[in-house]
């Protein structure tokens, strides 16, 4: 009888553990759209099909600043326990460390094949975080977006959009993030 009770207890512990594992699912979403925009003589150009999203800021040279936009489809997500935005930096220029700003732009409607500097919002949105990027290539960076994504899912948003800017003003501060057309596209990893 003692072995039977022990076996029942072990079985219950295993079943509870399985139930906990089944209830938490991880969703890895790739962008449905991403591009960057560039100022100056490139202000009317669209970069929606390139393999890298370029990020740069040079306040004293027109045509050098570049800002990226990334959108994910979150319409199938009903709850969020944890969420992170993953960015693959494939290349970073000579500046020792540059700082990126990641902004929530959810609600901004745009087309990957039409967005240009002239039509893109270079300001506004809600700051999510700053991200320090050294000049080391081929690294994944994770940005915690749990609270902001929870809010969007609860409000019924169908997409999640970020704007990423390089806020280090320097000629050698270019950062390239792999686009959805590249080998390591950005990811939105959600545990519900």
pLDDT for res 102 = 98
Q: 111 is written with which tokens? A: 């087309």
Distance CA 30, CA 183 (A): 12
Q: Please give the class, per CATH, of domain 25-191.
A: mainly beta
Which residues in the chain come in under a pLDDT of 70? 1-23
Distance CA 133, CA 145 (A): 18
Q: 28 is written with which tokens? A: 């890895």
DSSP reduced 3-state for 42: helix
Q: Give this prediction's pTM.
A: 0.86
Q: What is each CA distance from 56 to 101, 139, 174, 181, 182, in whole angstroms?
A: 11, 18, 5, 20, 19
pLDDT for res 19 = 46
57-83 burial code (b ≥16 CB/10 A, e <16): bbeeeeebbbbbbbbbebeebeebeeb
Q: What is each CA distance from 39 to 4, 74, 106, 150, 168, in whole angstroms?
A: 74, 30, 23, 33, 16
The angle at the Cα of 175, spanning 170 to 176, to the nearest 5 degrees, equals 155
**Biggest CA pair distance of the chain:** 84
One-character DSSP codes across 136-190: --SEEEEEE-HHHHHHHHHTT-SEEEEEEEE--B-TT--EEEE-TTSSS--EEEE
Distance CA 154, CA 151 (A): 5
Identify which of 89, 6, 5, 1 has the alpha carbon closest to the alpha carbon of residue 52: 89
């Amino acid at each position: 009888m003692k072995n039977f009770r022990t076996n029942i207890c072990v079985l219950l512990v295993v079943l509870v553990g399985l139930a906990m594992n089944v209830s938490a699912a991880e969703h890895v979403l790739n962008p449905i759209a991403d591009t960057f925009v560039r100022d100056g003589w490139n202000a009317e150009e669209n970069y929606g099909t390139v393999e890298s999203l370029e990020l740069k800021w040079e306040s004293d040279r027109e045509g050098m600043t570049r800002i990226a936009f990334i959108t994910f489809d979150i319409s199938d997500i009903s709850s969020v326990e944890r969420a992170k935005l993953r960015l693959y930096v494939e290349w970073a220029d000579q500046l020792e460390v540059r700082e990126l700003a990641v902004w929530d732009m959810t609600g901004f409607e745009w087309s990957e094949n039409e967005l240009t500097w002239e039509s893109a919002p270079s300001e506004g949105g809600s700051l999510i975080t700053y991200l320090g990027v050294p000049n080391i290539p081929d690294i994944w960076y994770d940005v915690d977006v749990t609270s902001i994504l929870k809010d969007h899912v609860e409000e019924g948003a169908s997409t999640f959009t970020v704007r990423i800017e390089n806020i280090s003003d320097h000629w050698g501060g270019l950062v390239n993030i792999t686009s959805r057309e590249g080998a390591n596209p950005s990811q939105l990893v959600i545990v519900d």
